[in-house]
Amino acid sequence: MSGIKAVIFDWGGVLIENPTEGILRYSREVLGIGSGCMLAAYRKLIPYFQEGKISEEEFWKGIRRRTGAKGNLPPASLWLEAFEQAYVPKEDVFAVAREIHECGCRTGILSNTEMPARPLMDREPYRIFDPLVLSWEVGSSKPQKKIFEVLIETLGLPPSDILFVDDVEANVRASRELGLRGHLFTDAQALRRALAPILGKG
C-alpha cells in the first residue's frame, strides 16, 4: 500500500452500519406498509433517488402508489427521520480513518446516498473527510464509471495514489478498472492491516 496519498471510504456498510433495513422498517411502520411490498417498491425507486433524479417527495409518492400506503408522511423529512433511527457509526473504522488523517494522508467519502441524509455528515466525526463525493450531487452512483471519474478529478491525484474502501465487490472492482487501488472491506482489523504501511506499522 505504499504510495497511497488518499483513502476514500464508502459510507453505509463501512463507516456506518448499512442503514437500509432500519430505514425500511421505520418507514413501513410510519406508512403502514407490508415488508414485501415496501422492499419491491424501494428497489425500483432508490437508484433514481440516490442519483438525484427524483426528489424525496417524488420518492415517497412512488412508494405510496406502489404499495397502497395509508399512513401520512411527517411534516419534516421521513427519510432523514428514518436514517437517524438506523444510524449506527462503526467507531473502530472511524478510529482507523482518524489515524490515517493524522499521518498526513487525505481521507474522503464516496457514497451512494440521498440528499436528505446529507446533514448527518455535518457532525464532528466527519470533519476529517474531504472530499465528500455523493451520488445525488454527481448524478451517478457506484459502480458506474462517472462517479469514480468525479472522485479522481476532485482529488487531483493519479488513480494509483488513491485507495478506495467498499464492502461491495462490484464497487471495488469498478474502482480498480479505473486504476484506483481497491480494498474489499470486511472489518476494521483487516483494513488496519492493509493500511499498515501508511500508519507506519508495516
Q: Which pLDDT value is given to residue 112?
A: 99
Query: Distance of CA 74 to CAs 37, 63, 71, 155, Å?
Result: 21, 15, 9, 39
- Which residue type occupies 72? N
Q: Which pLDDT value is given to residue 199?
A: 86
Q: How many CB atoms lie within 10 A of CB 186?
A: 9
The dihedrals phi and psi of 112, each to the nearest 5 degrees, come to: -80, 100
- From first to last of its 202 residues, what are the pLDDT tens digits of the chain? 668 999 999 999 999 999 999 999 999 999 999 878 899 999 999 999 999 999 999 999 999 999 999 888 999 999 999 999 999 999 999 999 999 999 999 999 999 999 999 999 999 999 999 999 999 999 999 999 999 999 999 999 999 999 999 999 999 999 999 999 999 999 999 999 999 988 886 5
List the alpha helices (DSSP H) in the chain.
20-31, 35-50, 56-67, 78-86, 91-102, 135-138, 145-155, 169-177, 188-194, 196-199
C-alpha 188/C-alpha 177 separation (Å) is 24
Q: Which pLDDT value is given to residue 34?
A: 82
CB of 21 within 8 A of CB of 176? no
Q: Model-level pTM? A: 0.95
